[in-house]
């Protein structure tokens, strides 16, 4: 048996309940992980509210990233062994003491890397690689504008872009958050509550604009991103916190030869996620192990205080990531 977080009905944080149930089954190409720490993400909130249902066949339990030790290994799961420290992008089921995960979505965690840190990495690393590099094709010397620079994804995106040779700028909602972005490697934090990021980017780049824009806001930002983009620029949407519908003037899209694209991570196939994992493991994970990329941990909550964790994230003052820990944190 294991403890896990159940959603009794769609609603606020109060619907999250600690329950006991059977351990999850696992396929032959999967590993069973005994969980030490779990990253908390905005899609978890959306799923709790009933606005982001789990894909067909995925666990209905919340939780998209975990760290812990391998408890069992499927016959076709490759070289993983019982007792090995790992972190993983899950397909759901992370808010629990055990979770089954496709083996190719796991990465090895050395003893020197704390489980809390490791649990805060997979969702952001996979999301940034898939969107900024695969879809946005960010190159050395290019300019990247990140909206939500102080978020879990934003703070990792700044660091990844910096070490891969891009010029990075980021928007955030306070001067303190802007300074955090700059400390992580952004050349300029733009306080969107006091400044127009379109005008700031034009001034900074001599009127050229950003080669790649990573946007999780949507709404009014959709047209403004088009204005802020350079010729041949790529605008990548990963969320729509301000809304997914907007009236857009496509003339500058045509005149600038822009690419408007976006993606979600959770609904992608095992093969697609495995491909992203391979690239992250080869190109980015060494920088994590060398501490050139490190998540900001805003606060850590025990699993049973998950409602408090969701309230904290929804309050909008989080810089970096919130992480949940099970009773096994610090034991392995």
**pLDDT tens-digit profile of 51-98?**
999 998 899 999 999 999 999 999 999 999 999 999 999 999 999 999
Distance CA 23, CA 87 (A): 19
Q: Which residues are 7's β-sheet partners? A: 16
State pLDDT tens for residues 285-311. Answer: 999 999 999 999 999 999 999 999 999
Q: In the predicted model, what is the mean pLDDT of residues 254-282?
A: 96
State pLDDT tens for residues 112-168. Answer: 999 999 999 999 999 999 999 999 999 999 999 999 999 999 999 999 999 999 999
* Beta-strand relationship, 85-89 and 65-73: antiparallel
Q: In the predicted model, what is the mean pLDDT of residues 33-62?
A: 95
Distance CA 186, CA 268 (A): 30
Retrieve residue 72's tokens. Answer: 């069992």
Closest residue by Cα to residue 330 from 117, 115, 69, 121? 115
Q: What domains can you pick out in the chain, each with its CATH number? A: 2-121+295-325 (3.90.180.10), 124-262 (3.40.50.720)
Q: What's the sign of the alpha-carbon dihedral 22, 28, 33, 34?
A: positive
Quick one: pLDDT at residue 332? 85
Q: Is residue 108 a contact partner of residue 119, using CB atoms and an 8 Å limit?
A: no
Residue 238 backbone dihedrals phi, psi, to 5 degrees: -120, -10
Closest residue by Cα to residue 272 from 152, 138, 164, 134? 134
Please give the C-alpha separations between residue 273 and each of 55, 61, 99, 109, 257, in angstroms, as whole numbers: 14, 20, 17, 19, 29
Check whether 8 has a pLDDT greater than 90: no
Quick one: pLDDT at residue 175? 97
């Amino acid at each position: 048996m294991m403890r896990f977080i159940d959603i009794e009905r769609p609603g606020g944080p109060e619907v999250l309940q600690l329950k006991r149930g059977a351990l999850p089954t696992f396929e032959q190409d999967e590993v069973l992980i005994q969980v030490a720490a779990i990253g908390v993400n905005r899609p978890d909130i959306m799923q709790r509210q009933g606005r982001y249902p789990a894909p067909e066949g995925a666990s209905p339990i919340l939780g998209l990233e975990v760290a812990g030790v391998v408890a069992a290994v499927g016959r076709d799961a490759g070289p993983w062994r019982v007792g090995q420290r790992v972190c993983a992008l899950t397909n759901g089921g992370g808010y629990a003491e055990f979770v089954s995960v496709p083996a190719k979505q796991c990465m090895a965690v050395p003893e020197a890397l704390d489980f809390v840190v490791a649990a805060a990495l997979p969702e952001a690393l996979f999301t940034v690689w898939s969107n900024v590099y695969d879809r946005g094709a960010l190159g050395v010397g290019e300019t990247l504008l990140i909206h939500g620079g102080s978020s879990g994804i934003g703070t990792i995106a700044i660091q990844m872009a910096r070490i891969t040779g891009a010029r990075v700028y980021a928007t955030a909602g306070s001067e303190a958050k802007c300074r955090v972005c700059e400390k992580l490697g952004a050349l300029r934090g733009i306080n969107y509550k006091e400044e127009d990021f379109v005008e700031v980017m034009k001034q900074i780049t001599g009127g050229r604009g950003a080669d790649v824009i990573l946007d999780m806001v949507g709404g009014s930002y959709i047209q403004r991103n088009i204005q802020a983009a350079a010729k041949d620029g790529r605008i990548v949407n990963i969320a729509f916190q301000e809304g997914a519908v907007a009236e857009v003037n496509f003339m500058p899209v045509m005149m600038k030869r822009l690419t408007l694209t976006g993606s979600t991570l959770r609904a992608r196939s095992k093969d697609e996620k495995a491909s992203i994992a391979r690239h992250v493991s080869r190109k980015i994970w060494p920088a994590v192990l060398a501490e050139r990329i490190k998540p900001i941990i805003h606060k850590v909550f025990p699993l049973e205080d998950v409602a408090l964790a969701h309230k904290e994230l929804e309050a909008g003052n989080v810089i970096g990531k919130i992480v949940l820990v099970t009773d096994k944190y610090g034991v392995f």
